[in-house]
Structure 1
Amino acid sequence: MNLHEHWLESWRQLGASATDESLYLQLVACYSEPHRHYHTVQHLTECLALLEAVEDQADRPAEVAIALWFHDAVYQPKRHDNEQKSADWASRSILAAGIDHSVADRIHGLILATRHNAAATGRDAQVLVDIDLAILGASPERFAEYEAQVRKEYAWAIGPLYRRGRRKVLEEFMARPTIYSTESFRSTREAQARINISRSLAALR
């Protein structure tokens, strides 16, 4: 996938008359920060590729695309307001591009849905959140890589602290009736996600 071409096309579909090249470079720089190991350009690229496969399920695929571009724009592992800051940045950027406030508000809400603290509501939020959580149902090899990447991002957390926190996150996903909200992700990733998470929880114990 050519990220720059995807960026230009997403803004064109959103209705922007011009795109901010410096904003693109800022975002790529953010996803390339040295403290990131999972929330990187790799994750962004995987998410955008998944959207291409399921964009017909979204009501406003261009809005989902821009939300994906910004959803981890701000990422500091020790903070709890990353999604809020990312959503605020997206909203400011959309308004600066001369796009309607209603679009900015919807994308702001989509990014906040990636906090994963409640079930996603609305087709676009469900598609976005399922894409963001697709890694849970990845192949065992990619899931193992993801687990190692997340651990590196939390290298500052000593063993017991990390295991408790990670266990809590994974147990919350396992407790859901379904991890994924859309049928396409449930049919292709739900079973594997539960296998992956179960193995991870066993290792954490």
Structure 2
Amino acid sequence: MMMEQSLRNRWKPSVTCLINELGMSSSSTITIDRERLQELDALSQSWLEKISQLYAEPHRAYHNMTHVQDVIASLDFLLDGEDSSIDAHTTCEKAILILAAFFHDVIYNPKSSTNEKDSADLFLQFASELGYQRDDNDEQPCTQQHIRNCIMVMQIEECIIATATHISSAGIAHETQNHTLATFLDADMSILGKDVEIYDKYAGCIRREYEFRADILESFLPILDEDAASTTATTPVKKHSFIYATDKGRLQWEEQARSNLKNEIEMLRRGVIPCEIQKHG
């Protein structure tokens, strides 16, 4: 399939970058010979197949490989026009974002509250397996401390975990100028700012995964001036002013996202499910 090949094309160089970073963060210099490179390539491909199978679970109407592809496309959009010179920093940052896209929803159970942590743990398992190094024909696993000391690993884990508190994490990323995290979070939420037809299709898919959704959507919306006037003492005050963390994301998606969210919340409060309108309307 074309989608599968395009994802493979993004996966392999990103994994290669991670392997290089794991080697650089090691306390000793290890030479990776041709045989080991072949082993690493086979390991990489087996993990991609495992990830693909997890994203193909039957209960996933939205959080599947199509979502991963959409996140990567939004990453490309957000990074377009940035400093794209091929240097170590830019290549590494792109690899962080791509691998975070592959792993951020790899464990997904709508009834679980630990999906993000479980997904991050699976990524750490992947990184640990890549960290096996061959020295004098003996394989020695890198320690967990070695994995944790790799900046690239830490940033990928940060991106995955941050999706558990998406809006507040985006606000913090913007305030602290954490460009990598801000870019990833905006790409993951870019679907909210797409045109109405695309958004309604997304909403229908999500509705099949979640039994209740309106309260979740309410938490995404920023508190506006007119909202503040009607806020009561018993109403939780939302402290964020924007959905997106990057200036480009706000310009491209913010207004449409707010409109989409408000429309869907109103429909759900009336008991109307967007996908049923498309199916029966």
Q: TM-score, normalised by structure 2?
A: 0.65
| Equivalence map 1:125-164=2 (5 Å) | 125-154=181-210, 157=211, 162=212
Equivalent residue pairs, number? 196
Indicate which of 123, 131, 141 corresponds to 1:90.
123
Indicate which of 96, 112, 135 corresponds to 1:79.
112
Answer yes or no: is the 8 Å Cα contact 1:91–1:107 preserved in 2: no
Per the TM alignment, residue 54 of structure 1 is displaced from its structure 2 partner at its CA by 2.5
Secondary structure of the structure 2 residue equivalent to 1:151: helix
Q: Which has the larger radius of gyration?
A: 2
Instruction: Give the Cα–Cα distance (whole angstroms) in 1 for the partners of residues 155 and 206 of structure 2.
Output: 29
Per the TM alignment, residue 71 of structure 1 is displaced from its structure 2 partner at its CA by 0.2
Partner of 1:60: 93
Secondary structure of the structure 2 residue equivalent to 1:177: coil
Q: What residue identity is the alignment partner of 2:261?
A: I
Partner of 1:198: 262
Task: Point out where structure 1 has 5 or more consecutive residues left out of the alignment.
Answer: none
Per the TM alignment, residue 13 of structure 1 is displaced from its structure 2 partner at its CA by 3.0
- Percent of counterpart pairs with the same letter? 31
| Equivalence map 1:1-205=2 (5 Å) | 2-16=6-20, 18-19=40-41, 20-55=44-79, 56=82, 60-98=93-131, 101=147, 102=150, 103-117=152-166, 118-120=168-170, 121=173, 122-154=178-210, 157=211, 162=212, 166-175=213-222, 176-205=240-269
Answer yes or no: is the 8 Å Cα contact 1:47–1:132 preserved in 2: yes
Inter-CA distance 41–79: structure 2 relative to 1 (3 Å threshold):
same
Please, what is the CA RMSD of the aligned residues? 1.9
Instruction: Give the Cα–Cα distance (whole angstroms) in 2 for the partners of residues 77 and 201 of structure 1.
Output: 19
Instruction: Give the Cα–Cα distance (whole angstroms) in 2 for the partners of residues 201 and 53 of structure 1.
Output: 28
Instruction: Give the Cα–Cα distance (whole angstroms) in 1 for the partners of residues 268 and 101 of structure 2.
Output: 30
Secondary structure of the structure 1 residue equivalent to 2:165: coil
Secondary structure of the structure 1 residue equivalent to 2:96: helix
1:159-201 per-residue CA deviation (whole Å, 9 max, x = no partner) reads xxx2xxx222111111330100101110000000011011011
Instruction: Give the Cα–Cα distance (whole angstroms) in 2 for the partners of residues 14 and 104 of structure 1.
Output: 8
Answer yes or no: is the 8 Å Cα contact 1:137–1:189 preserved in 2: yes
Instruction: Give the Cα–Cα distance (whole angstroms) in 1 for the partners of residues 56 and 249 of structure 2.
Output: 28
Answer yes or no: is the 8 Å Cα contact 2:117–2:161 preserved in 1: yes
Answer yes or no: is the 8 Å Cα contact 1:47–1:68 preserved in 2: yes
Secondary structure of the structure 2 residue equivalent to 1:43: helix
Instruction: Give the Cα–Cα distance (whole angstroms) in 2 for the partners of residues 66 and 182 of structure 1.
Output: 20
Per the TM alignment, residue 116 of structure 1 is displaced from its structure 2 partner at its CA by 2.5
Instruction: Give the Cα–Cα distance (whole angstroms) in 2 for the partners of residues 112 and 119 of structure 1.
Output: 10
Instruction: Give the Cα–Cα distance (whole angstroms) in 2 for the partners of residues 33 and 11 of structure 1.
Output: 24
Q: TM-score, normalised by structure 1?
A: 0.88
Q: What residue identity is the alignment partner of 1:119?
A: S
Instruction: Give the Cα–Cα distance (whole angstroms) in 1 for the partners of residues 54 and 169 of structure 2.
Output: 28
Per the TM alignment, residue 88 of structure 1 is displaced from its structure 2 partner at its CA by 0.7
Instruction: Give the Cα–Cα distance (whole angstroms) in 1 for the partners of residues 161 and 99 of structure 2.
Output: 13
